[in-house]
Chains A and B, each alone.
Chain A
Amino acid sequence: MTGETPELAVEAIDEATLRERFEAQHYVADDRVVTTVQLALQLGRPLLVEGEPGSGKTELGKVLADGFETELIRLQCYEGLTAENALYEWNYTKQLLAVQSNEGTVTADSADAGGTRSVFDDEYLLERPLLRALTAGGDRSPILLIDEIDRADEAFEAFLLELLSEYQVSIPELGTIRAENPPIVILTSNRTRGLSDALKRRCLYLHVEPPSFETEYEIVSRKVPELDAAIAAEVCAVVERLREESFLKRPGVAETLDWARAVATLRANGSDEPLSTDEIERTIGCLLKEVEDVTRVDTALLEQLHAAAAAADDRLESAET
C-alpha cells in the first residue's frame, strides 16, 4: 500500500497499471479479475482461481509473468505428486559418490572432521519448482503457478500450507529456507474435489466466469486477428448458443479460440461470407470433445446455431452504440 517503496513494482501496483499490463498481453480481464489480482498482489496472498476448463486460469499466471517480466515457475499437480517431485530432492548419486570417495559424510555435526563435509548441503540439493520459487534470485518476485491443485493428494495440500502462508519450507537436514522475494502464487483448480479449509483460508478466491458475448468477441478478435471481424462475432454467437445446451463438456474460451483459428485457416482466401451450417458441422470437433455431445448436434440445433450466427452482427452493433 502507500507505505511500500515504489521499486517493489509488484506489491505497489495499482489498478490502472495492472489493467494496462493485461491489455498489453492481450488478456481480456473484467473488473473483478483485475481487482482480485490487485488485491492478491498488494496483500501478498496466494490467489486460488477456479473455473471451467478452458476459461483462462492458467493463462492468468502466464500473463502475469509476462506482464511483470518475471520468471514463471509452474508446478503441474497430479495424483501421487510428492514432496520430492515438487519441492526438493537430494542428488543421491552424487551423495553416494561423495560418501564413497570420502569427500562427504552424512552426519551433520561432524562436518569439519577430517576435511569432509556433510552431503546434506546445497551442493547436493536438487531444486524442484517450489523450492526454486523461494530461492529464485533477482529483484523481482517470480510467479509460482500451482496448476490443478485439485489433482494432487490431500496430503500434498497440507504440505503446501507452510509454503503458502510463510513463504518458507523446512528441509530436515538443512534447516528452514525462507524466500527473500516471496513469489506471487496462483493456484488453479478444476473442482474435481473440494479443497481443504486450511488451504482455502490462506488464499484469495477468484471464480472465473464464462465470458459474455462481448468479452468473448474481444478475446477472439485479439487472439485471432486474422479472422474477419464479422465472422469472429458469428463464432462467438454460435459458441454462446452452444453453451446453453446441456453438454457433457461445454466449450470454454480455449475451444472458442481453437474454433476461430480453424475457421480462419479454412478461409485462407480471406473470404468474409457468413458461417454456413455446413461449415459449422464440419468443424464442430473443435468445440465439442465428447462423442455424445457431437451426436446431439442435429439439423435443428445446427439451424439454431446458424440463426444465432446471423444475428451476431446486429448484436455487436447494438453493443457498440
Chain B
Amino acid sequence: MTPREHASENATESDRPRGDRGGLDQPTGLHTVPDFEAARTHVLTELVRFTDELRQAGVDVPATGTLEGARALAVVGFADREPAGDALRAALLSEAADREAFDEAFPPFWHRLRTGIDRIATHEGTSTSDDDEPEPAGSVALEGEASELLSETEPPSLEGDDGDGSERAEVRLQTGRRHATGERPIDEDEDGDAVRRYSAVGGRERVAATPASLTDAERDAIDRFVNALATVPGRRTQQATAGERIDARRALRSSLGTGGTPMDLPTRDPVPSELHCCLLIDVSGSVLDTVDRDTLLAVAERLQTVARRSSVFLFDTDLVDATEQFERAGGDPAAALRAAEISWGGGTQIGDAFETLRRQHRDAVDRRTVVIVISDGLDVGEQSVLEEQITWLARRAAAVLWLNPLAVASTYEPRTRGMETCLPYVDGLFGFAEPTDLAEIARQLERRGLDGPIGYEYDPRRQQPAEPTPKSGEGHE
C-alpha cells in the first residue's frame, strides 16, 4: 500500500467523531490507528468485484484492469467520490459506449467501499453507530446483505444529480447488464423510484428502433469483403516491378553490390485499398422473404460506412436512390425500404431498373466502381432490355457482383430467365443470406481476384452437403 493510501485513510479516520469507540476489539492497540491490512484487503476485494461486475455488464475491461484501477486509486485516494470515480473510469474503460454501465455500477461499489472502510476505521462491532448515515447499514447487516441493502437504498440519493438517468438507461438494455449491478426488481422503499427503474428496464421501442445491430464477426466479414473488393489505390504502397515511386531503402541495399552505384531502382506502387461501390438492392417480396430486412439494411449501412464512396439504390419495378437515407445521421433507411416496398410490389423488372440507373444516376457507376447487386434474379421484364442494360453496366463498372439469396442453397443453379441472361456479364455470382456469407466471397476474392474463377459454385460449403443429402429444390423457382 502506498503512503498516499494511508494518508487518505487517516484523513477519513480523523474527520470522524472519535468518542464512539474503544480499542477493545482490535489487536492494534492504539485506538486511532485503523487496521490497514483489513482496509487494504477490503479495497482490493471490492475493486475485483467491481471490475467483475463491469465485465459481466458487457464492459470490455482490459485484463490488467484491476491492477490499473488499484494504481489509479492509490494516486487519487478514496477520500472523495468524484476523483476516485474519474480515476477508475480512466483506468477501466476504453470505450465511450461503456460509460453508462460504469455510471450504473459505480455508486453501489463506492458505497460498499466507503462503508467497509468506515467500518474498519471505526472498528467493526461497536454498537454506537449513530454518527453517520451509511453506518447503520454497514455495521448492522452482514457483508452479503449489506451490498444488497445499499444497492436498494443508494440509488434514490444519487439519481437526483442526473435527472436524465432513466432515459439513458433505456438504451443500455440490450446487453442485459442490469443483472450485474445487483439491483433487485423488488424495490420496497419508494414507489416512484421503483416505477422509474422499471420503465428504464422495460423500454422496448428503443430496441426495435435500432435494427442495425451486427455482431463483431459479421462486421468483420463485411469489412473483409470491402477490402477484398477494393479497386481504388490508397496511400499504402507495396513493392512493384515497374512502380511509380522509388524505394530508396531497397535501392541503397541493392547498390552495395555495385560499390554504391545504384544500378537498378526498385519501386513501389500504391495498393488498392479503397472501395467505390454501387449497391443495388432488389426489394421485391421474393428477396425480402429470403433475406432478413434488418440484416439487409445493416449490411448496406456498414458498406456505406466502410467504403470510401458508395451509393445505394433500391429497385423492384423501378429504381430509387436511397444513398442519402443511409448516409445521413438522421436518415431512416428502414422507412425508405418500407416506402419502396409499398409503392411497387409485384414483378421485378431488373432491366427497367437498370435503365433508370443509367439514365438518371449515371455518375453512380464509373470504371472504378464495383457494382453489387442483391437480387434473386426472378425477372418478369423484357429479356432484351435486361440484356442491354446489364451489358452497359458490366462495360462501365470495374466489376459486377451478383449476390443471390437463393444461391446459398446447395443445389442452386442459375436457371431463372433473368439470372441466365445476366450470368455471362457478371464477374461473380454468390449466395448471400447473412453477413457472414460475405466472408466466403471475400475469401475467394482474396485468393483469386475479381478476374479469377469465383462464384457460388466454388463455395466449399456447397460441395459437401450436396452429395450425401440431396435436399430437393430450394434453389429452383
Q: List residues of chain A with CB under 8 Å of any chain B CB.
A: 1-3, 15, 31-32, 35-36, 38-40, 42-43, 47-48, 50, 78-81, 84, 90, 92, 95-97, 99-100, 106, 153, 191, 195, 197, 200-201, 203-207, 246-248, 292
Contacts of A43 in B (CB 8 A): 71-72, 75
> Is there contact, CB below 8 Å, between A197 and B62?
yes
In the complex, what residue of chain B is closest to A92 when comparing beta carbons? B248
In the complex, what residue of chain A is closest to B252 when comparing beta carbons? A92
> Is there contact, CB below 8 Å, between B96 and A207?
yes
> Is there contact, CB below 8 Å, between A205 and B90?
yes
> Is there contact, CB below 8 Å, between A39 and B94?
no
Asked if B255 is an interface residue, CB under 8 A from chain A, the answer is yes
Asked if B330 is an interface residue, CB under 8 A from chain A, the answer is yes
In the complex, what residue of chain B is closest to A48 when comparing beta carbons? B94
For the complex, give the distance between the alpha carbons of A82 and B222 in Å: 26
* Chain B 246-279 interface residues, beta-carbon cutoff 8 Å to A: 248-249, 251-253, 255-256, 259-262, 273
Q: List 19 A-B contacts (CB under 8 A).
A: A1-B4, A31-B82, A31-B86, A35-B90, A39-B87, A39-B90, A42-B75, A92-B248, A96-B255, A96-B262, A100-B259, A100-B261, A106-B253, A106-B256, A197-B62, A201-B62, A204-B90, A205-B93, A207-B96
* Chain B 30-80 interface residues, beta-carbon cutoff 8 Å to A: 60, 62-64, 68, 71-72, 74-76
For the complex, give the distance between the alpha carbons of A79 and B252 in Å: 26
Asked if B89 is an interface residue, CB under 8 A from chain A, the answer is yes
Answer whether A2 and B4 are a contact pair too, CB < 8 Å, given A79-B234, A96-B262, A246-B329. yes
Closest Cβ–Cβ distance, residue B402 to chain A (whole Å): 29
Asked if B361 is an interface residue, CB under 8 A from chain A, the answer is no
Q: Convert B84-121 into 0s and 1s, putting 1 for each residue whose CB lies closer than 8 angstroms to a CB of A.
A: 00110111011010010000000000000000000000
Answer whether A200 and B62 are a contact pair too, CB < 8 Å, given A79-B236, A95-B252, A206-B90. yes
- Cross-interface CB contact of B89 among A32, A80, A97, cutoff 8 Å: A32
For the complex, give the distance between the alpha carbons of A84 and B261 in Å: 23
> Is there contact, CB below 8 Å, between A99 and B256?
yes
> Is there contact, CB below 8 Å, between A99 and B329?
no
> Is there contact, CB below 8 Å, between B83 and A31?
yes
> Is there contact, CB below 8 Å, between B252 and A96?
yes
Contacts of A2 in B (CB 8 A): 2-4
> Is there contact, CB below 8 Å, between B90 and A100?
no
Contacts of A35 in B (CB 8 A): 76, 82-83, 86-87, 90
Contacts of A38 in B (CB 8 A): 75-76
> Is there contact, CB below 8 Å, between B86 and A201?
no
> Is there contact, CB below 8 Å, between A36 and B86?
yes
Closest Cβ–Cβ distance, residue A183 to chain B (whole Å): 19
Asked if B328 is an interface residue, CB under 8 A from chain A, the answer is yes
Closest Cβ–Cβ distance, residue B248 to chain A (whole Å): 4
Q: List residues of chain B with CB under 8 Å of any chain A CB.
A: 2-4, 60, 62-64, 68, 71-72, 74-76, 82-83, 86-87, 89-91, 93-94, 96, 99, 234-237, 248-249, 251-253, 255-256, 259-262, 273, 328-330
In the complex, what residue of chain B is closest to A203 when comparing beta carbons? B94
Answer whether A90 and B260 are a contact pair too, CB < 8 Å, given A79-B234, A79-B236, A248-B329. no
In the complex, what residue of chain A is closest to B274 when comparing beta carbons? A79
Contacts of B249 in A (CB 8 A): 84, 90, 92
> Is there contact, CB below 8 Å, between B328 and A248?
yes
For the complex, give the distance between the alpha carbons of A99 and B253 in Å: 11
- Cross-interface CB contact of A205 among B3, B94, B330, cutoff 8 Å: B94
For the complex, give the distance between the alpha carbons of A49 and B39 in Å: 33
Contacts of A246 in B (CB 8 A): 329-330
Contacts of B328 in A (CB 8 A): 248, 292
Answer whether A201 and B83 are a contact pair too, CB < 8 Å, given A1-B74, A100-B260. no
For the complex, give the distance between the alpha carbons of A3 and B260 in Å: 54
- Cross-interface CB contact of A99 among B74, B89, B237, B255, cutoff 8 Å: B255
> Is there contact, CB below 8 Å, between A200 and B94?
yes
Answer whether A36 and B87 are a contact pair too, CB < 8 Å, given A2-B3, A201-B62. yes
Which of B234, B252, B273 has the largest count of A CB atoms less than 10 A from its CB? B252
For the complex, give the distance between the alpha carbons of A38 and B74 in Å: 12
> Is there contact, CB below 8 Å, between B90 and A247?
no
> Is there contact, CB below 8 Å, between B76 and A39?
yes
> Is there contact, CB below 8 Å, between B235 and A39?
no
Closest Cβ–Cβ distance, residue A56 to chain B (whole Å): 16
Closest Cβ–Cβ distance, residue B40 to chain A (whole Å): 16
Contacts of B83 in A (CB 8 A): 15, 31, 35
For the complex, give the distance between the alpha carbons of A90 and B250 in Å: 11
> Is there contact, CB below 8 Å, between A201 and B251?
no
For the complex, give the distance between the alpha carbons of A84 and B252 in Å: 15
A-B pairs with the 9 shortest C-beta distances?
A: A80-B235, A99-B260, A200-B94, A100-B260, A201-B62, A246-B330, A35-B86, A92-B248, A204-B90
Contacts of A292 in B (CB 8 A): 328
In the complex, what residue of chain A is closest to B93 when comparing beta carbons? A205
For the complex, give the distance between the alpha carbons of A197 and B63 in Å: 10
Contacts of A15 in B (CB 8 A): 83
- Cross-interface CB contact of B2 among A1, A80, A191, cutoff 8 Å: A1
Closest Cβ–Cβ distance, residue B93 to chain A (whole Å): 5
> Is there contact, CB below 8 Å, between A78 and B235?
yes
- Cross-interface CB contact of A90 among B76, B236, B252, cutoff 8 Å: B252
Answer whether A79 and B235 are a contact pair too, CB < 8 Å, given A36-B86, A43-B72. yes
Contacts of A201 in B (CB 8 A): 62-64, 94
Contacts of B251 in A (CB 8 A): 92
Which of A36, A106, A246 has the largest count of B CB atoms less than 10 A from its CB? A36
> Is there contact, CB below 8 Å, between B4 and A207?
no
Contacts of B68 in A (CB 8 A): 204
Extra contacts, 15 of them, besides A39-B87, A43-B75 (Cβ < 8 A), are A1-B3, A31-B82, A35-B83, A36-B89, A38-B75, A43-B72, A47-B90, A90-B249, A96-B260, A99-B255, A106-B252, A197-B94, A207-B93, A246-B329, A248-B329
Contacts of A84 in B (CB 8 A): 249
> Is there contact, CB below 8 Å, between B256 and A191?
no
